[in-house]
Structure 1
């Protein structure tokens, strides 16, 4: 599972030192918006030390401009698992990047991509982007997406575009990250908790955050509850018994159970085991 992804500025050693201890499933070292222009090269040059310092699963958010290729190469050499790619508007960007990095990856697994959809053009290309090379998952950049439309990043504004990106990810069989709200207001604990649970009910896999206090909220919100785990175990156990008796559909706790519901229960248990 990737329930929580914690952004950490790539030019802040005191934050990077503690990032691996915050409980996030993934730490995203940010070379883009969180780093001022004057510090971007130094942050890139420090990636090897930063990735090693964090340990665990590390992604790198690169700059989607003339710095892209150098940022990506540095992330590969530092041993990062994936690139968070902002402002992806078409799949051609992914093909060019994959071709550029392939010669450097003979001794390691190819670095994965997580495209961020942050404008209307990318929104309408989300299906092709999701099916592009190396895509691990998709996410929407809520603040940028709203700004590109001249809108405010409210839950109402973000719901439809985030669902479109989410559906594109699920159609392609990749992960989907996000909630129906911006995470900039990290002090709204109850709002974030409700948003995480809501997003999981739609099938989102996890979400990113910019403050470590949000990490446990996401870890809890995107994980199955104890009641859901217990239900899933009952369903799977009953399904095995019914199958042995030659029955594919049955009732459990007064409710009808058939193949899609069994699959849902198996997926719940799969998340616990992962």
Structure 2
């Protein structure tokens, strides 16, 4: 269960040294947008130190790599440091994932192949997102709202980005992947009420978690994307009642005045599995 993913600049030791203590499910060491051009090589070299250091806190570590001529070198450094996954920006076709997987194959002899999280950030990627979702090593999808809006010549408002984000989300769910993101991004991390509302909305739509750039947002995401105690109690009642009704030869039934059939039972079972994964992670 991955509810919170905290971005940390790869060239900022004062943030990196505490990143594993922030309570995030995943720390994303960013080698791309957060790192100036003249510090990118140093940030990449720092993965050997920071990935294992951050993982001591019990979270996973992903690395957001650069595209173009830095992509493979960044990815190899992440593999060598034993990162859990790559956050890959500006993925516009599945071919780039195939080539990257091939380029990494000779560097992973002693470990499980590193996973991929493509960021969909342009129109070609958006329109090819279903193919990308079925690419090699892909286990999750997410969007890059600012880049998507720029590619459209639009402003990055919730109204502009809602449909593109949902397209990416639907592609993830069709492929059985995790889906990370918020439908209405809140840039003001001090506005806790707005962040909470955005996270709850995203969870209602089936998103699994979201990224953030400030540690104060992490507990909000962890809380909002996790099943509540009331939801877990409801799910247990539904599953228990379903078993009893099935034993009596009934597939649909009434429970507390509500009609329950197979899709609702499946939803309850999924919620319980998510709850169990959350407990196991802690």
Tell me which interval the TM-score lies in, with the shorter structure as reference length.
over 0.9
TM-score normalized by the length of structure 2: 0.96
The alignment status of 1:272 with 2:272, answered yes or no, reads no
Alignment root-mean-square deviation, CA: 0.8
Between the aligned partners of 1:32 and 1:72, the Cα distance in structure 2 is 12
The DSSP-based 3-state class of the residue aligned with 2:87 is strand
Between the aligned partners of 1:148 and 1:109, the Cα distance in structure 2 is 35
Aligned mate of 1:235, from 225, 233, 238: 238
Measured against aligned partners, the alpha-carbon deviations of 1:29-73 in whole angstroms (never above 9, x if no partner) come to 000000011110001011010101101300000001210000000
Measured against aligned partners, the alpha-carbon deviations of 1:66-125 in whole angstroms (never above 9, x if no partner) come to 100000000000000100000000100000000010111121000000000011111001
Match of 2:18 in 1: 18
1:142, 1:181 within 8 Å by CA — same for their partners in 2?
A: no
1:60, 1:84 within 8 Å by CA — same for their partners in 2?
A: yes
TM-score normalized by the length of structure 1: 0.98
Could you tell me which runs of 5 or more consecutive residues in structure 1 were left unpaired when the two chains were aligned. none
2:185, 2:198 within 8 Å by CA — same for their partners in 1?
A: no
Report the CA distance between 1:220 and its aligned residue.
Answer: 1.0
The alignment status of 1:216 with 2:184, answered yes or no, reads no
Within 5 Å, give how 1:59-208 maps onto structure 2: 59-208=62-211
The DSSP-based 3-state class of the residue aligned with 2:28 is strand
Within 5 Å, give how 1:242-261 maps onto structure 2: 242-261=245-264
Could you tell me which runs of 5 or more consecutive residues in structure 2 were left unpaired when the two chains were aligned. 278-282
Number of aligned residues: 274
Between the aligned partners of 1:260 and 1:40, the Cα distance in structure 2 is 49
The DSSP-based 3-state class of the residue aligned with 1:229 is helix
Between the aligned partners of 2:209 and 2:117, the Cα distance in structure 1 is 13
The DSSP-based 3-state class of the residue aligned with 1:133 is coil
The DSSP-based 3-state class of the residue aligned with 1:67 is helix
Measured against aligned partners, the alpha-carbon deviations of 1:147-180 in whole angstroms (never above 9, x if no partner) come to 2212111111110000000000011111111111
Match of 2:38 in 1: 38
Between the aligned partners of 1:33 and 1:116, the Cα distance in structure 2 is 13
Match of 2:29 in 1: 29
Between the aligned partners of 1:180 and 1:233, the Cα distance in structure 2 is 30
